[in-house]
Structure 1
Amino acid sequence: MNTILIKDAALVNEGRIFHADVFIKNGFIEKIAPSIDVRADIEINALGLHLLPGMIDDQVHFREPGLTHKADIFSESMAAVAGGITSFMEMPNTVPNTLTQELLSDKYAIASEVSLANYSFFMGASNNNLDEVLKTDPKNVCGIKVFMGSSTGNMLVDNEKVLEDLFKEAPMLIATHCEDEQTIRSNMALYKEKYGDQITIEMHPLIRSTEACYRSSSMAVGLAKKYNTRLHILHISTAKEISLFDNQLPLKEKRITAEACIHHLWFDDRDYAAKGNWIKWNPAVKTEADKNAILKAVLDGHIDVIATDHAPHTIEEKEQPYLLAPSGGPLVQHALSVLLEMYHQQKISLEQIVEKTAHHVADCFNIDKRGYIREGYWADLVLVNLHDPVKVIKPNILYKCGWSPFEGQTFESEITHTIVSGNLAYQKGKFMTNKTGQRLQFNR
């Protein structure tokens, strides 16, 4: 199956919505026109559907290797494809941590065999692996990940000299998790002194506080400005941090960019009472005012991209008391559905969704020939029916962990087809697993 013809779709691309046919051949978009009359191996009648560039998720944790009881690259890439995500960038805090070029290559080898979506993997930094980090090839690795806050294993980078050297010498984009560890430890000590083991989830955003986020983010921005580092700060969770970012420069001229995540755009601290540990994330979901400010920053250009920070844990782990329950939750299957729901709520336009989940991610990471519906580009495409409601229930949750923070939610839109590198990977509940996604390449 080397050719696909999509007929009568409403394309959402580069700030416009217009009707056209799209012809795909050997993985690439060959032609976009009002009407295309050719024979194809697969023809899709897209009348009444919207065609979007596939989401490029720049932050996921797919847990392989080492934590595959929670998730693995096959299971989570399948959930991602069903959710309209055609490419992902995966984090290095697996077991073992991805701190050597050999371990990084091992993850690429696994993905080449099983991933239904296109893929890239971050190289991890620690306090003692700078030599390995500097070997990373900017043309075929998405970036270097620095945890400037708590993380799994040996990945908290809190040595000031190491941070200086990383920001000074990094040959490519550095992505950071920014929460000040000392602030969090001090807050936790105060809450334990007051409440002992009876600390509850409502205290999570007070322990992992606004100040912890701002101190760390401002430090990262300061280092990036000092060394002209290409810095990308992940999962902004506070209104205070937004002032660190520029919305005047075009994205392609920015050296410092920022990401917002689905959960910080949808939930706020009022939801802890009902959702409990199911919405326990680091950084924490904070106030309604923070949530509203983050959305405003997405729309006005202070925040450049939207991602998921998909980080599944088992039901048993999440059902533990607050102090024992891990942070993180599964999101890739429902991220686009959430954004389309926000479109129905008139909070964001379809054009802005596409800009923040595809165009800007491709530009931010300099991804080669992806993120747009353009002739000559890879065919990474998603068809959605904006008026076919779907309720999230246990039987239709695809995550290996078997749960979703959106369980019980009805979304107004359905993702009907997902095309990955020219392969029809998903169609109305069915997967085509005969082809895997491609390794992302970068124009750097």
Structure 2
Amino acid sequence: MSTILIKNAQVVNEGEIKVQDIFIKDGRIEQIAPSIDKIATQEIDADGLHLLPGLIDDQVHFREPGLTYKADIFTESRAAVAGGTTSFMEMPNTVPNTLTQKLLQDKYDIGQDSSLANYSFFMGAGNDNLEEVLKTNPRDVCGIKVFMGSSTGNMLVDNETALANIFQNAPTLVATHCEDETTIRTNLAEYKERYGEDITINMHPAIRSEEACYLSSSKAIELALRYDTRLHILHISTGKETHLFSNDIPLEKKRITAEACVHHLWFSDADYASKGNLIKWNPAVKTAADREEIWRAVLDGRIDVIATDHAPHTLEEKTQPYLQAPSGGPLVQHALQALLDQVKQGRLTLEQLVQKTAHNTARCFQIEQRGFIREGYWADMVLVDLNKSYTVTKENILSKCKWSPFEGHTFSATIEHTIVSGNVAFSSGKIQEVGSGHRMLFDR
């Protein structure tokens, strides 16, 4: 019978910060009180530390199966727990694409065997797999993923009838990557005509433009309204798109929700000069003005959750010329620290950080008994030292690709302990390399 007692933590939860003790038994939070005197298998002195619900990342690409030279579920879940992310939802553009229930179950089997974090996997939608999509169980699968713009992998859904059928009949939440493919192809053709093969990274946000994003997001919302689909639009990258969303009803009653990613909240197009293809993402990092509007929408409730879109490629791939370099990068290990830097700068509060990375993600996806520090809930938590700096170096990067856009940056806070489903998965710089992650379930 495993028990953990956390003493004297500054608990950040449901809009409050209180000094509390936490007693964990058999994976769950048994008691929360100002003082607990029980004997535990393990005791953690959290004096001076803040205890947050573990981050729930609703968009990662861990590359397994098929692209495991870039990343795999074991290596990337290690990076996740080292960064305070206790649960993830992984995307279907692996090799092969997750377009059948059999392939989806294969990924769950890998997660069960190797994930250090709690896990769920999206079922992929294509132009011709509606029958498989409709078999998805809302109880134990986070959602259906629809690529309404091409990205890594060949999963673009561009057939109008297929899109309508997915939105009309999806048995669970539909999450979309929204970029208008026609607009992107037209822009790219124009740039190739002008520059040939000499297109550079600073042109990326003009090729994968504001208008491409807005047209596609607008179309997804129109379909969702037509069919009353539960729609979640991923990685909003433009200020213009933020005005498509509302904050006038509680999150639990929203049928259309939105996500912002750490890189769109941190970088701007000015950073292409120093970072190059390392910050090449789809959708593209755009202007500082876009970044400010995304922050505004996060803080006023139009954008509901913050995630990473963690998507590793090898450094060799990323250092190719612009047209050959793939989009995506590793973020899951440093997302919480990046957001804690923003807390220190006064951009958001600890309570808001927890709301956008844990509480709201749990509400948005109706995750069962996770995302909050509550008695009876699974013990998914992270202890952070807000006064201990941490510099990202090649040696302490845990993602398999062994690089980060944050390499060389010194964060203001350090992750001290991460607890996943009641097991200490990370402590004082060391990973407990035993698969402690559980498959997430959903109250649907």
* TM category, shorter: over 0.9
Kindly provide the amino acid, as one letter, of the partner of residue 408 in structure 1.
G
2:320 equivalent in structure 1 = 320
2:309 equivalent in structure 1 = 309
Counterparts of 1:161-310 in structure 2, within 5 Å, are 161-310=161-310
Q: How many angstroms apart in 2 are the aligned matches of 1:432 and 1:237?
A: 36
2:342 equivalent in structure 1 = 342
1:98 equivalent in structure 2 = 98
Question: Are the counterparts in 1 of residues 307 and 357 from structure 2 also a CA contact under 8 Å?
Answer: yes
**Deviations 1:82-111 (Å, cap 9, x if unpaired)?**
000000000000000000000000000001
Q: How many angstroms apart in 2 are the aligned matches of 1:242 and 1:293?
A: 7
Kindly provide the amino acid, as one letter, of the partner of residue 332 in structure 1.
V
**Deviations 1:209-240 (Å, cap 9, x if unpaired)?**
00000000000000000111000000000000
Question: 1:155 offset after TM fit, Å?
Answer: 1.0
Kindly provide the amino acid, as one letter, of the partner of residue 146 in structure 2.
V
Q: How many angstroms apart in 2 are the aligned matches of 1:414 and 1:336?
A: 9
**SS of match in other structure, 2:44:** strand
Q: Give 5+ residue unaligned stretches, structure 1.
A: none
Q: How many angstroms apart in 1 are the aligned matches of 2:68 and 2:166?
A: 30
Q: How many angstroms apart in 1 are the aligned matches of 2:291 and 2:14?
A: 26
RMSD of aligned Cα (Å): 0.6
Question: 1:435 offset after TM fit, Å?
Answer: 3.7
Q: How many angstroms apart in 2 are the aligned matches of 1:184 and 1:297?
A: 25
Q: How many angstroms apart in 2 are the aligned matches of 1:10 and 1:232?
A: 32
Kindly provide the amino acid, as one letter, of the partner of residue 214 in structure 1.
Y
Does 2:42 match 1:42? yes
Kindly provide the amino acid, as one letter, of the partner of residue 385 in structure 1.
D
Question: 1:4 offset after TM fit, Å?
Answer: 0.2
Question: 1:434 offset after TM fit, Å?
Answer: 2.8
- Structure 1 vs Structure 2: percent identity of aligned residues? 70
Kindly provide the amino acid, as one letter, of the partner of residue 87 in structure 2.
S
Question: Are the counterparts in 2 of residues 179 and 208 from structure 1 also a CA contact under 8 Å?
Answer: yes
Kindly provide the amino acid, as one letter, of the partner of residue 30 in structure 1.
E
Does 2:444 match 1:405? no
**Deviations 1:387-430 (Å, cap 9, x if unpaired)?**
00000011111110000000010001000000000001100111
Question: 1:66 offset after TM fit, Å?
Answer: 0.2
**SS of match in other structure, 1:197:** coil
Kindly provide the amino acid, as one letter, of the partner of residue 161 in structure 2.
K
Question: Are the counterparts in 1 of residues 224 and 256 from structure 2 also a CA contact under 8 Å?
Answer: yes
Give the aligned length: 444
Q: How many angstroms apart in 2 are the aligned matches of 1:289 and 1:171?
A: 37
Question: Are the counterparts in 1 of residues 151 and 282 from structure 2 also a CA contact under 8 Å?
Answer: no
Q: How many angstroms apart in 1 are the aligned matches of 2:117 and 2:423?
A: 10
Question: Are the counterparts in 2 of residues 108 and 120 from structure 1 also a CA contact under 8 Å?
Answer: yes
Question: Are the counterparts in 1 of residues 112 and 435 from structure 2 also a CA contact under 8 Å?
Answer: no
Question: Are the counterparts in 1 of residues 77 and 116 from structure 2 also a CA contact under 8 Å?
Answer: yes
1:149 equivalent in structure 2 = 149
Does 2:331 match 1:331? yes
**Deviations 1:4-46 (Å, cap 9, x if unpaired)?**
0000000000000010000000000000000000000000000
Counterparts of 1:78-93 in structure 2, within 5 Å, are 78-93=78-93
Question: Are the counterparts in 2 of residues 113 and 436 from structure 1 also a CA contact under 8 Å?
Answer: no
Which 4+ runs in 1 deviate beyond 6 A?
Answer: none
**SS of match in other structure, 2:243:** helix
Q: How many angstroms apart in 2 are the aligned matches of 1:279 and 1:350?
A: 26
**Deviations 1:48-94 (Å, cap 9, x if unpaired)?**
00000000000000000000000000000000000000000000000
Question: 1:386 offset after TM fit, Å?
Answer: 0.1
Question: Are the counterparts in 2 of residues 126 and 154 from structure 1 also a CA contact under 8 Å?
Answer: no
Q: How many angstroms apart in 2 are the aligned matches of 1:319 and 1:252?
A: 43
Question: 1:154 offset after TM fit, Å?
Answer: 3.7
**SS of match in other structure, 2:437:** coil
**SS of match in other structure, 2:336:** helix
Question: 1:362 offset after TM fit, Å?
Answer: 0.2
**SS of match in other structure, 1:62:** coil
Kindly provide the amino acid, as one letter, of the partner of residue 371 in structure 1.
G
Q: How many angstroms apart in 2 are the aligned matches of 1:173 and 1:249?
A: 18
Q: How many angstroms apart in 1 are the aligned matches of 2:87 and 2:159?
A: 33
Question: 1:432 offset after TM fit, Å?
Answer: 1.4
**SS of match in other structure, 1:9:** strand
2:24 equivalent in structure 1 = 24
Q: How many angstroms apart in 2 are the aligned matches of 1:115 and 1:435?
A: 5
Question: 1:153 offset after TM fit, Å?
Answer: 3.9
Question: Are the counterparts in 2 of residues 423 and 435 from structure 1 also a CA contact under 8 Å?
Answer: no
Q: How many angstroms apart in 2 are the aligned matches of 1:243 and 1:332?
A: 28
1:427 equivalent in structure 2 = 427
Question: 1:431 offset after TM fit, Å?
Answer: 1.4
Question: Are the counterparts in 1 of residues 61 and 310 from structure 2 also a CA contact under 8 Å?
Answer: yes
Kindly provide the amino acid, as one letter, of the partner of residue 170 in structure 2.
A
1:365 equivalent in structure 2 = 365
Q: Give 5+ residue unaligned stretches, structure 2.
A: none
Kindly provide the amino acid, as one letter, of the partner of residue 294 in structure 1.
I
Counterparts of 1:371-410 in structure 2, within 5 Å, are 371-410=371-410
Question: Are the counterparts in 1 of residues 76 and 400 from structure 2 also a CA contact under 8 Å?
Answer: yes
Kindly provide the amino acid, as one letter, of the partner of residue 321 in structure 2.
P
Q: How many angstroms apart in 1 are the aligned matches of 2:342 and 2:153?
A: 36
Question: 1:152 offset after TM fit, Å?
Answer: 3.8
